[in-house]
Amino acid sequence: MARNYEGADRESLELLKKMEEGGIESSYDRYDAQQPQCGFGKIGLCCRHCQMGPCNVDPFGRGPKKGVCGADANTIAARHFVRYVAAGTAAHSDHGRSVAHLLIATARGEAKGYKITDIKKLHEVAALFEVSTEGRKVEEIAEEVGEMALAEFGKAYGTQAFAKKAPINRQKVWEKLDVTPRAIDREVTESMHRTGMGTDQDYKNLILHACRTSLADGWGGAMIATELQDILFGTPKPKRGTANLGVIREDEVNILVHGHEPQMSEMVAVASQDPEMLKAAEAVGAKGISLAGICCTANEMLMRHGIPLAGHMKMQEMALATGAIEAITVDIQCVMQGDEEVASHFHTKMITTSPKAKIAGTQHIEINDENAYEKAKEIVKIAIDNYPNRDRSRVYIPKGKKSDVVVGFTHETIKYMLGGTYRASYRPLNDNIMNGRIRGVVGVVGCTSSILWPDQMPYMDLVNELIANNILVVQTGCAAAECAREGMMVPEHMKNAGEGLREVCEAVGMPPVLHAGSCVDNSRILISCSEMVKEGGLGNDISELPVAGVCLDWMHEKALAIGHYFVTSGVYTLFGTKSPASGAPDVDKFLSEELEELVGGKWSFEPDLKVMAKLIIDHIEKKRDALGINVKKERKLYDMEDRRQLAVDGSDVHAGCEPGLAHEHRKKD
């Protein structure tokens, strides 16, 4: 395949070229080597769910129309879809389960180094679980909240507690369709059962179970992960940071943290600043210890601590190819086995830490709730000891872009930013949507993959198109990391926004593209949508809001689970790939048309970005028309003067400011 090294992401391309010259295999090489990939698999028509198969169904009628058991294209494609969603739900939810265990261990004083940080959120979650707080110690409350969260995975009766956070009308839609999620593990198990040979063979029934399973993710396991992480590590607030491969330091011990759960990375962050470790680093001639993140661990660390983000999923091998990494420590999800091979070409040590995710041939230092700090120190020490082994003649850190970012736009932050500390509310956001300055809100989330070369960066193009059309963009996951790397998440980027959105961003001091976290944090977007409905003026259900969800370069099963819980929550959701069920037109039609009548949201799979942008804008305008808010009338802009009046306590959080600086900044205003 002809290589095109011209393009926007110069840093990744430079490192890919270096890898090629050094004979180091990349995921791009392996993608090339896989071509042509199985056409049946790509369109959802290859079934290997029993030993009579694998069975392929030919969508063009030139081959078999059915599998050996008689399963037709619709059944086979729908089964695949359900299994994708179940696998994604399992991944996010197992992450959530680990956080619940950690919360309990922390509350019992068994998890050295961890603490309960956000007591306000602890009380909010306690109220949701009906855990009494009156006169009780924080630890007692936290332990019971952790137990209640754990029970959500296997409860014998009832439905997910967090589903109660959805607007009442949304809950009624789910009840009517009987898709309100029950125990999380039950939905995943039932998905596997239904999709085995000889069970559910009605594609609509299968897709509806995918609806219920995905809700067990978005309003279950993923939401548990996010909310409990906030309790333990703090709810993110606006914070400045930097992003891109240029964050790797020439003269410090570099440690990459990669994966998803903050349990490991939080402790490595603390250990890297231990005076004993800093002294050891100095002793080997390093100026310090530098941590940088990859993938969603990067998003978590950037949001909570301003720790630099080196790159997103498809940049993991390039970061190692700088030759300047002393150690890469990983936990779960989106970690390429190919990393080990790239590391082996340099002095880099690769260390796995989760009992669920070992890599053959890689050093394993298991981190659990009880030993995390000691083990994190062991990892940091390995990196320090490895610093003298760095071959400086082979180090190449791209000198190009290292972008500034402002991150930490949780649903709480959005509320505070627009409404002030004591009047925190979605009213100003809703008002600005109603007056048309903001036409709508779009979540642009999800993966990056090695299908697209680094010079193909569709997220930037689409996001810029949306903000130019006065659509506020909220991002998570690797899509967020991609735009962060491109310098799009700073207030200055408002110059690319349309006039209305720019006015609002100027008044509030926020970027037009908001970083809301990692891939489990899409649950934050669900809560924001619920808050917008509850605030009033934009209809009575999420499906009435002028909003949409987008993932352009989906790779992991988690992205399909996220997409489907957005759809089942009433959101129009667009993926920039071909449908994974495109070999079964009935299933495709059900997903992209008929489902809307049932759940209010629907899918579109649209690889053409221009067409996608038009679909989104048309959808938002259609929703605005239905709400009757496209009538031309002058509404008062929520401007700086209004904000001064609202900021009665002078302590609003202001984007671009560290929380501690907010007071000072506000007073100066």
Contact residues for ligand MSK, defined by CB under 6 A: 260, 295-296, 312-313, 334, 446-447, 477-478, 518-519, 555-556, 558-559
Write b or e for each residue in 47-70: b if 16 or more Cβ atoms lie within 10 A of its Cβ, otherwise e. Answer: bebeeebebbbebeeeeeeebeee
| Parallel, antiparallel or unpaired: strands 603-605 and 572-575 | parallel
Kindly state the number of chain residues that form the binding site for ligand SF4, as judged by CB under 6 A: 14
What is the C-alpha to C-alpha distance for residues 163 and 569, in angstroms, rounded to an integer? 10
- 37/199 with CB nearer ligand SF4: 199
What is the C-alpha to C-alpha distance for residues 220 and 211, in angstroms, rounded to an integer? 13
Q: Which two tokens stand for residue 560?
A: 């399909």
Say which entry of ligand MSK, ligand SF4, none residue 478 contacts (CB below 5 to 8 A, set by partner kind).
Answer: ligand MSK
177 binds ligand SF4 (CB under 6 A): no
69 binds ligand SF4 (CB under 6 A): yes
Identify residue 158 by its one-letter amino acid code. Answer: G
CB of 210 to ligand SF4, least distance (A): 18
Q: In what order do the strands lie in the sheet with 471-475?
A: 513-515, 471-475, 440-444, 547-551, 572-575, 603-605
What is the C-alpha to C-alpha distance for residues 131 and 129, in angstroms, rounded to an integer? 5
Cβ neighbours, 10 Å, residue 307: 25
- In the list 138, 177, 197, 627, the residue contacting ligand SF4 (rule: CB under 6 A) is 197
DSSP one-letter string for 534-593: HHSSS-SSGGGSSEEEEESS--SHHHHHHHHHHHHTT-EEEESS--TTTT-HHHHHIIII
Closest CA to 491 of 115, 240, 198, 204: 240
Say which entry of ligand MSK, ligand SF4, none residue 446 contacts (CB below 5 to 8 A, set by partner kind).
Answer: ligand MSK
Build a one-symbol-per-residue string for 378-397: x at contacts with ligand SF4 by CB under 6 A, - elsewhere.
Answer: --------------------
Yes or no: say if 118 and 234 are a contact pair by the CB < 8 Å rule. Answer: yes
Residue 156, classified by CB atoms within 10 Å of its CB into exposed (0-12), middle (13-18) or buried (19+), is exposed
- 65/622 with CB nearer ligand SF4: 65
- In the list 67, 167, 487, 539, the residue contacting ligand SF4 (rule: CB under 6 A) is 67
Say which entry of ligand SF4, ligand MSK, none residue 68 contacts (CB below 5 to 8 A, set by partner kind).
Answer: ligand SF4
Say which entry of ligand MSK, ligand SF4, none residue 298 contacts (CB below 5 to 8 A, set by partner kind).
Answer: none
- 83/377 with CB nearer ligand SF4: 83
CB of 203 to ligand SF4, least distance (A): 14
CB of 37 to ligand SF4, least distance (A): 19
Identify residue 30 by its one-letter amino acid code. Answer: R
Say which entry of ligand SF4, ligand MSK, none residue 286 contacts (CB below 5 to 8 A, set by partner kind).
Answer: none
CB of 89 to ligand MSK, least distance (A): 13
CB of 538 to ligand MSK, least distance (A): 28
- 74/263 with CB nearer ligand SF4: 74
192 binds ligand SF4 (CB under 6 A): no
Build a one-symbol-per-residue string for 43-62: x at contacts with ligand SF4 by CB under 6 A, - elsewhere.
Answer: ----xxxx-xxxx-------
CB of 26 to ligand MSK, least distance (A): 16
Q: Which two tokens stand for residue 327?
A: 């150690």
Residue 114, classified by CB atoms within 10 Å of its CB into exposed (0-12), middle (13-18) or buried (19+), is buried
Q: How many helices (DSSP H) and strands (DSSP E) are in the chain?
A: 28, 16
Say which entry of ligand MSK, ligand SF4, none residue 556 contacts (CB below 5 to 8 A, set by partner kind).
Answer: ligand MSK
CB of 55 to ligand SF4, least distance (A): 3
What is the C-alpha to C-alpha distance for residues 264 and 335, in angstroms, rounded to an integer? 14
Say which entry of ligand SF4, ligand MSK, none residue 48 contacts (CB below 5 to 8 A, set by partner kind).
Answer: ligand SF4
Closest CA to 211 of 262, 175, 237, 165: 175
Interface with ligand SF4 (CB under 6 A): 47-50, 52-55, 67-69, 71, 76, 197
